Amino acid sequence: SSPDRYAVVGNPIAHSRSPQIHARFAAETGEHVAYDRILAPLDGFTVTARDFFAGGGRGLNVTVPFKLEAFELADQLTERAAHAGAVNTLWIDAAGRIHGDNTDGIGIVRDLRDNLGVKLAGARVLLLGAGGAARGALLPLVDAGPAEIVIANRTEPKAEELAQSARAAATRVTAAGFAGLAGRFDVVINATSTSLDGDLPPIADALLKDAGFVYDMMYGAKPTSFLAHAAICGCAGLADGLGMLVEQAAESFFDWRGVRPTTGAVIAAIRAELAAR
Ligand code: NDP
């Protein structure tokens, strides 16, 4: 029989590591699936996705810049996707309904807590940024039970709005400007896109020096600008977002197949592929 078909859709898409990750998951779990890259025109995401499903495709990962359009396309959303306002995982059910999930946030929580052994329960967490990645991360982070999450963003009203969107919970969620950050944080998460340009969010070096653990959602062959700077500041616990990438993929695979692949060997393999380029 022919494999069930999945794909990642984005623009650009050539750089995506998702096909390699999902091929490894399929090999490990024995699931009979095929996984491709699809380049959608910037004004053509919805048509591309509908054509894929009409042609028998079973599920899609969605990446930049289409996560908001994927949110609009879904007939039914998971709670975390509804909260994030963005969808990175789509699938079609037997009745032809399109479901949308956001697995980015649970991806970073699993990487921090399970792979890296960072204690989130009871922690004081600094979340830098209030864009799509920060939005997706907030609810899963709250669910991990930190004592406090402070959200800081260049455009401060966006941090304020995101903090207010966090549902009532035991976790205190507040907003601050980059300049107004105070106290020691157990975990600092960079969800700004500054590392893409080799830049830094303008926060005090002392925050990084004193931090228990510093995480950058961006990843690459070399340490990101943010992680390199945190190391210079004296922080010893550092990780980039490659583990998050693999964990969000594993959660999407689980959405689609009901089987949860293991991730440790895949993270190591993709890390080695990055280094070899
Ligand atoms: P968005 O464009 O939605 O958000 C960008 C964020 O960065 C905003 O908060 C923006 O602030 C801030 N920002 C941009 N430039 C600057 C600057 N010069 N100084 C300070 N703040 C700045 O991007 P995403 O949320 O989608 O992505 C953020 C990062 O996360 C990217 O590096 C991306 O690669 C990474 N990512 C990694 C994933 C993984 O699996 N590892 C998954 C998803 C994302 P403002 O609101 O003021 O504009």
- What ipTM describes this predicted complex? 0.98
Amino acid 19: pLDDT:
97
Amino acid 59: pLDDT:
98
Amino acid at residue number 186: D
CA dist., res. 171 & res. 15, Å (int):
37
Q: With a 6 A CB cut-off, is 154 part of the ligand 1 pocket? A: yes
Q: How many Cβ atoms are within 10 Å of 202's Cβ, its own excluded?
A: 11
Q: How many Cβ atoms are within 10 Å of 96's Cβ, its own excluded?
A: 9
What tokens were used for 76?
Answer: 């039914």
67 is catalytic: yes
Amino acid 237: pLDDT:
96
Site to substitute for ligand 1 among 16, 69, 141, 192, most atoms within 8 A of C-beta: 192
Q: Is the pLDDT of residue 244 over 80?
A: yes
Q: With a 6 A CB cut-off, is 7 part of the ligand 1 pocket? A: no
CA dist., res. 53 & res. 10, Å (int):
16
Burial of 66 (0-12, 13-18, 19+ CB in 10 A): buried
CA atoms 55, 59, 64, 69: torsion sign: positive
Amino acid 210: pLDDT:
95
Q: Is the pLDDT of residue 134 over 90?
A: yes
For atom 17 of ligand 1, the residue with the nearest CA is 194
For atom 1 of ligand 1, the residue with the nearest CA is 131
Which one-letter DSSP state was computed for residue 267? H
Q: Domains of the chain by range and CATH?
A: 4-102+246-276 (3.40.50.10860), 105-240 (3.40.50.720)
When pLDDT is averaged across residues 81-87 and rounded to a whole number, the result is 94
Burial 238-266 (b: 16+ CB within 10 A, else e): bbbbbbbbbbbbbbbbbbbbeeebebeeb
Residue 254 CA to ligand 1 centre (angstroms): 26
HSE-CB of 134 using CA atoms within 13 angstroms: 29
What tokens were used for 196?
Answer: 């893409």
Amino acid 122: pLDDT:
97
Q: With a 6 A CB cut-off, is 247 part of the ligand 1 pocket? A: no
Q: With a 6 A CB cut-off, is 218 part of the ligand 1 pocket? A: yes
Residues 172-212 have pLDDT tens digits of 999 999 998 999 999 999 999 999 999 999 999 999 999 99
Q: How many Cβ atoms are within 10 Å of 237's Cβ, its own excluded?
A: 16
Q: What angle do CA 70, 72, 76 make, to 5 degrees?
A: 90
CA dist., res. 68 & res. 131, Å (int):
12
Task: Please state the atom number of ligand 1 nearest to the C-alpha of residue 243.
Answer: 41
Q: How far is CA 157 from the centre of its chain?
A: 22
When pLDDT is averaged across residues 209-226 and rounded to a whole number, the result is 96
Amino acid 154: pLDDT:
96
For atom 9 of ligand 1, the residue with the nearest CA is 129
When pLDDT is averaged across residues 258-266 and rounded to a whole number, the result is 97
Assign 144 to helix, strand or coil.
coil
Residue 120 CA to ligand 1 centre (angstroms): 22
Q: Is the pLDDT of residue 277 over 80?
A: no
pLDDT band for position 33 (cuts 50, 70, 90): very high
